[in-house]
Structure 1
């Protein structure tokens, strides 16, 4: 499976006969990390401390306690970690994601007609629930007090569900934040790829603005396109996180623009420092912290960079589909063991 991100729409392509290779582990030196001396290691350390307390392994616990004592940041990482390149046969792919900011209201009225639903009481994790089409057309959840807020555009709602979190700009000028609460147990299907398969666009043409325009222009056909993705995300209000801070990631902590990445936890432990060498139009050599996951983020060399909140962040994130290299920083003893295959 190869997954890529185009302007907020995941496109997934399964290669016939493709099998994922067993991962390999290669220990590197810090001298082999391109641009390592030039990074802001203090910024990375601050983000690491934000979530390292959730790592329960004794090696991580000792390192986390040391990180909280205010060490010299570059020396800290070089003393207690070793860079390990984890590969599974697929080339590195960097993409970007962001937190939408959308106009909405806590009450229905005027143009606010599309509900953000909270988690239904009868939803069982992993079990199939109503499809997107059934929820929209049959409205089985209406009137049950699940509406957290109302949006003005069904496409905004769809993109909010793709991202998994967002901020709602309310009519009185205040902000409301919503985060992932659960999903309906249906498989994710890319509507961007559906348009490509129909011959509406070439794969390089697909972006969030293009899809928005197509859905709005085609009205009924546009809604039916959205329904092709049966997956439906339910939300919860995230009142414990101030609006000025980043949204909650998979570790239930605020994530940080340009320092937090989403990874595949099958290969990278959440909370780990990760050195990235992103190529492309805007190269980026930077120490990140793996604090999030994503349904299309699969593989040892796969990462989604968090770009922040709002329209500008979305534009930047939507342009990222770049090669490069990702190297995980593991505690010294742990690195030695995985490299040795112990």
Structure 2
């Protein structure tokens, strides 16, 4: 799921480019597990299983030793409580939780009257020269024709645009097979938010903009909608992702499959990738559970900023797209590492 610019979509097309980096030094507060609302009721064994998916890639000795112990842990809750401490990291910014998902499009390995919109591999000239051609240049010329760079064709140009924003997804073929594609590079031009463009034009107010609102508007205004999509000069190329079985989640920043409602994307400047993270998300549908920091995103910046993975397909996309909630997040760190963060800690 990494690469590309998916976080610009997942924060409602409006937060990307506006989330400022932390202006103050972070503060650290060690919590008790009894301070975590809902901790006792969570499925710790599920979280431990996801932790094991990526903990073997952690390099530091304390993490490596805990990963070894985790493989033989009989009681998952006891394992986390014995070897970790929850740490509340604050950088002066309010907590914000958003959601992301893996799109699934209908497509074909051959073009026809229905499947007319190609997903391209990255051409060598785009690798050699950055920035390369703009989205408009690529889509309104024959520069990609006859080069054998097509991976598949899909039936919806709007969904293809959103797939490029997301950076990865799945293509369901007519025979029922599934082709997974991942980020394969970009043309080197900066992403320009089409949501922000609609707000700038006065078409919508900022609080009205969501992925579904944008899709509906583009389809209802095909000529203007096409021009809106072309106003974003960034263009994402894809690659086939054959190493991940279709039943598993897409690859995250740790190059391992991520897990629905157990993987969270974080800012690695504050949260170590692979660390367990306790999430207390407010909003209309509160969510309190132990997740694993296995992904990142270009708009996921800050100690209390996180993106929750909601799974694959349209239903997951609707749930993810509605999320923009407050809350708090605690990072579970190895005990010695946690206490070393305190200013009065003495070795």
TM-score range (shorter-chain normalised) is: over 0.9
Match of residue 3 from structure 2 = none
Q: Within 5 Å, which residues of 2 pair with 1:256-295? A: 256-295=259-298
State the secondary structure of the residue aligned to 2:14: strand
TM-score, normalised via structure 2 length: 0.91
Match of residue 101 from structure 1 = 104
1:99·1:163 contact (CA, 8 Å) conserved in 2?
A: yes
CA distance in 2, matches of 1:89, 1:8: 20
CA distance in 2, matches of 1:246, 1:113: 27
Match of residue 36 from structure 1 = 39
Question: Structure 2: any 5+ residue segments left out of the alignment?
Answer: 1-5
CA positional deviation for 1:219: 2.1
2:19·2:301 contact (CA, 8 Å) conserved in 1?
A: no
TM-score, normalised via structure 1 length: 0.93
- Cα-to-partner distance string for 1:127-154 (whole Å, 9 max, x where unaligned): 4222222221124233222211111121
* 1:83 equivalent in alignment to 2:86: yes
State the secondary structure of the residue aligned to 1:340: coil
Of the candidates 186, 189, 195, which is equivalent to residue 192 of structure 2? 189
Match of residue 62 from structure 2 = 59
2:8·2:298 contact (CA, 8 Å) conserved in 1?
A: no
* 1:255 equivalent in alignment to 2:258: yes
CA positional deviation for 1:8: 7.4
Match of residue 205 from structure 2 = 202
Question: Structure 1: any 5+ residue segments left out of the alignment?
Answer: none
* 1:156 equivalent in alignment to 2:167: no
2:9·2:166 contact (CA, 8 Å) conserved in 1?
A: no
The alignment's C-alpha RMSD in Å is 2.3
The 1:122–1:71 alpha-carbon spacing in structure 2 relative to 1, beyond 3 Å, is farther
The 1:123–1:6 alpha-carbon spacing in structure 2 relative to 1, beyond 3 Å, is closer
The 1:197–1:281 alpha-carbon spacing in structure 2 relative to 1, beyond 3 Å, is same
* 1:23 equivalent in alignment to 2:26: yes
Match of residue 249 from structure 2 = 246
1:25·1:84 contact (CA, 8 Å) conserved in 2?
A: yes
State the secondary structure of the residue aligned to 1:157: helix
Of the candidates 212, 217, 220, which is equivalent to residue 214 of structure 1? 217
Match of residue 331 from structure 1 = 334
CA positional deviation for 1:44: 0.2
CA distance in 2, matches of 1:206, 1:268: 30
Of the candidates 302, 308, 312, which is equivalent to residue 309 of structure 1? 312
Most deviating of 220-229 and 269-278: 220-229
* 1:137 equivalent in alignment to 2:118: no
Larger strand percent: 1
CA distance in 1, matches of 2:129, 2:42: 41
- Cα-to-partner distance string for 1:258-291 (whole Å, 9 max, x where unaligned): 1001111121111110000000011011000011
CA distance in 2, matches of 1:102, 1:294: 22
CA distance in 1, matches of 2:128, 2:297: 17
1:4·1:321 contact (CA, 8 Å) conserved in 2?
A: no
CA distance in 2, matches of 1:211, 1:298: 24
Of the candidates 157, 168, 171, which is equivalent to residue 168 of structure 1? 171
CA distance in 2, matches of 1:46, 1:76: 12
* 1:11 equivalent in alignment to 2:10: no
* 1:232 equivalent in alignment to 2:235: yes
CA distance in 1, matches of 2:327, 2:143: 46
CA distance in 1, matches of 2:134, 2:261: 35
The 1:168–1:228 alpha-carbon spacing in structure 2 relative to 1, beyond 3 Å, is same
CA positional deviation for 1:5: 7.1
